[in-house]
Amino acid sequence: MQIIGKRWKEMELLAIAEEIDGVAGSFKYPPGYIRITAPTRITR
Protein backbone atom coordinates (compact mmCIF):
# COMPACT_ATOMS: atom_id res chain seq x y z
CA MET A 1 0.00 0.00 0.00
CA GLN A 2 1.25 3.47 -0.76
CA ILE A 3 0.06 6.57 1.05
CA ILE A 4 0.35 9.84 -0.83
CA GLY A 5 -0.23 13.29 0.62
CA LYS A 6 0.52 16.95 0.28
CA ARG A 7 3.97 18.44 0.54
CA TRP A 8 5.23 19.07 4.08
CA LYS A 9 2.59 16.76 5.61
CA GLU A 10 4.92 13.85 6.41
CA MET A 11 3.96 13.71 10.09
CA GLU A 12 0.28 13.42 9.19
CA LEU A 13 1.05 10.67 6.67
CA LEU A 14 3.11 8.77 9.23
CA ALA A 15 0.23 9.00 11.71
CA ILE A 16 -2.15 7.61 9.08
CA ALA A 17 0.31 4.81 8.25
CA GLU A 18 0.55 3.93 11.93
CA GLU A 19 -3.26 3.69 12.17
CA ILE A 20 -3.44 1.49 9.08
CA ASP A 21 -0.69 -0.75 10.44
CA GLY A 22 -2.66 -1.15 13.67
CA VAL A 23 -5.73 -2.33 11.75
CA ALA A 24 -4.20 -4.28 8.86
CA GLY A 25 -1.06 -5.50 10.61
CA SER A 26 2.53 -5.39 9.44
CA PHE A 27 3.66 -6.76 6.10
CA LYS A 28 3.96 -10.54 5.96
CA TYR A 29 5.35 -12.58 3.09
CA PRO A 30 2.82 -14.98 1.52
CA PRO A 31 3.00 -18.66 2.56
CA GLY A 32 5.65 -20.51 0.58
CA TYR A 33 7.42 -17.34 -0.53
CA ILE A 34 11.20 -17.63 -0.42
CA ARG A 35 12.95 -14.34 0.14
CA ILE A 36 16.25 -14.11 -1.69
CA THR A 37 18.65 -11.37 -0.68
CA ALA A 38 21.66 -10.07 -2.55
CA PRO A 39 24.98 -11.49 -1.43
CA THR A 40 26.91 -9.37 1.05
CA ARG A 41 30.18 -7.97 -0.20
CA ILE A 42 33.12 -7.97 2.18
CA THR A 43 35.68 -5.22 1.61
CA ARG A 44 39.13 -5.29 3.12
pLDDT at res. 27: 78
**Domain range list for the chain:** 1-38
How far apart, in whole angstroms, are the C-alpha atoms of residue 20 and residue 13?
A: 10
pLDDT at res. 14: 92
How far apart, in whole angstroms, are the C-alpha atoms of residue 36 and residue 8?
A: 35
The per-residue pLDDT for range 1-44, each reduced to its tens digit, is 889 999 999 999 999 999 998 898 887 878 888 877 777 777 76
